[in-house]
Structure 1
Amino acid sequence: MRKQDLWFCILLLFFLGGLRAEPSPELAVLDQARTRQGDVRVETLIEVWEAGELLRSSAFEVYVGTGRQSLALARSGREAGQKVLMLDDQFWLFLPTSQRPIRITPMQKMLGEASIGDIASLRWQEDYRIINRQSEPETLWLSLEAARAGLSYQRVELQVRTGDYAPLSARFYLTSGKLAKTAAFELDEVGGELTVSRMTLTDEVMGDEVTRIHYQSVTEVDIPERWFSPAFLARNPVD
């Protein structure tokens, strides 16, 4: 390798490493408001509504670990007994009637407009980087680019409040550039801390149907490492 090529590679690696390491206070607020830090259990209720009528609902326990590891357990509804495991960009679905895990994509629908990725991937700082900021009088629009090709949405336009960066809404785009869905965040304060209590997903194609994801509680827990093993989950229940 020529000397100038070697220096170019070193500088490129340094630049890319700096992109990954750059802190994002806006996304940190969103992550803190949804899942806090460390290993947590997020009690989640998903509802599908149409024209003001509740069509379906299902409760999930989502165990979120560090390093892009999560496990979603369906506790009620038609999905009861199902398990979804995320390890980095790999996803598996475990059905209660089978010991063979099924490889799936994060875009696969779980319930209503809530995809596998919407349920299992809950930390934005690990998934996206900010490539542009546009200020408005009381809000800030952030253009987000996916950090990896395997994410559900390759581009997100996120609207946050000016000042405290509280998330307000988001637009999710596919690799093709097509708008996949929009989201509206409902905020509360719990113990003096900002909390996202609900995310409402809509898709223009679905008409009056909306999907509401309620984040009912976030609890710090110790997650057994074996829970993130496809071989273990295929043969053992998780209580």
Structure 2
Amino acid sequence: MRKFIGLLFVILMLPVWADPAPELIYLDSMRTGGESVKVTTRIIVDEPGEPTRESVLDVYAHQDGRSLAVYRNDREAGQKVLMVDDQFWLFMPDSKRALRITPMQKLLGDASVGDVASLAWAEDYEVVERTQQDDRTLLYLNARRRGLSYQQIELTVESETQHPIEADFYLKSGKLAKQAKFELVETDGEWVMRGLSLSDQVQSQRTTRIVYDAIEPMNLLDKWFTPAYLLRSTP
């Protein structure tokens, strides 16, 4: 009987996640369509008095949450970043080992690894509160896992259309890390996410844009998401 009670206690203590919120499912669908895709991504940084900086990556996003970012521009060609669950690895050209990194590792400007590689908010976050502000809805999101870049997000959407407008990202400490404004376009009668603009309170004059130039459904091979393969090859 004691063993049964102990087992029951363990089961009751396991986290029970609520179903993904419709607003987050819609946001993800505007970005990837809920499929396994290749997203051709540009990071563009503009800063007063400085030349524009830019990086180009192909992000292979699996529908199960795994992702792989491969640099395509000449300056960083051959660099790769792999995300599996809460683990991130950086692969450098000609290196014989992968480097463990965090999702907060900067790529360019205010864009971090997690900003580019984590494209499944419906799986990563749960809505814990909603408030209405005129024609907008403010959603308070909590991370489902401790390893995510941001433990809380305040997401603002249009109440009628559920189109994402802006978001505030908070660290584990509760500090505001950065803010984002979403860029949407209508294509063939459907709204899709073109990208987002990032800013922080420290570098207030700098603007970092993550632009999704092309989104292509693709059959992604499991071996592409293994360190052993990526040390030898690139998709």
TM-score above 0.5, yes or no: yes
* Partners of 2:22 and 2:234 in 1: CA distance: 38
Residue 160 of structure 2: aligned partner:
163
For residues 49 and 188 of structure 1, what CA distance do their matches in structure 2 show? Answer: 22
CA, structure 1 residues 98+11, in 2 after alignment: closer, same or farther (shift >3 Å)? Answer: closer
Query: Which residue number in structure 2 is paired with residue 50 of structure 1?
Result: 47
Residue aligning to 2:30:
33
Query: CA 1:63 to 1:140, structure 2 compared with 1: closer, same or farther past 3 Å?
Result: same
> 1:71 is matched with which residue: 60, 63, 68?
68
1:53 CA displacement: 5.9
Match of 2:195 in 1: 198
**Gap runs ≥5 in structure 2:** none
Task: Give the counterpart of 2:230 among 207, 210, 233.
Answer: 233
Name the counterpart of 1:218.
215
State the 4+ residue runs in structure 1 displaced beyond 4 angstroms.
Answer: 2-13
SS of match in other structure, 1:204: coil
- Residue 84 of structure 1: aligned partner: 81
Partner SS for 1:122: coil
Backbone CA RMSD of aligned residues: 1.7
**3-state SS in 1 of match to 2:116:** helix
Whichever residue aligns with residue 113 of structure 1, its letter is: D
Contact 1:197/1:216 (<8 A) preserved: yes
1:101 corresponding residue in structure 2: 98
- Helix, strand or coil: the match of 1:33? helix
* TM-score, with structure 1 as normaliser: 0.92
Q: Identity across aligned pairs (percent)?
A: 48
Structure 1: gaps (5+ residues): none
Instruction: Tell me the CA shift for residue 5 of structure 1.
Output: 5.8
TM-score normalized by structure 2?
Answer: 0.93
Q: How many residues align?
A: 234
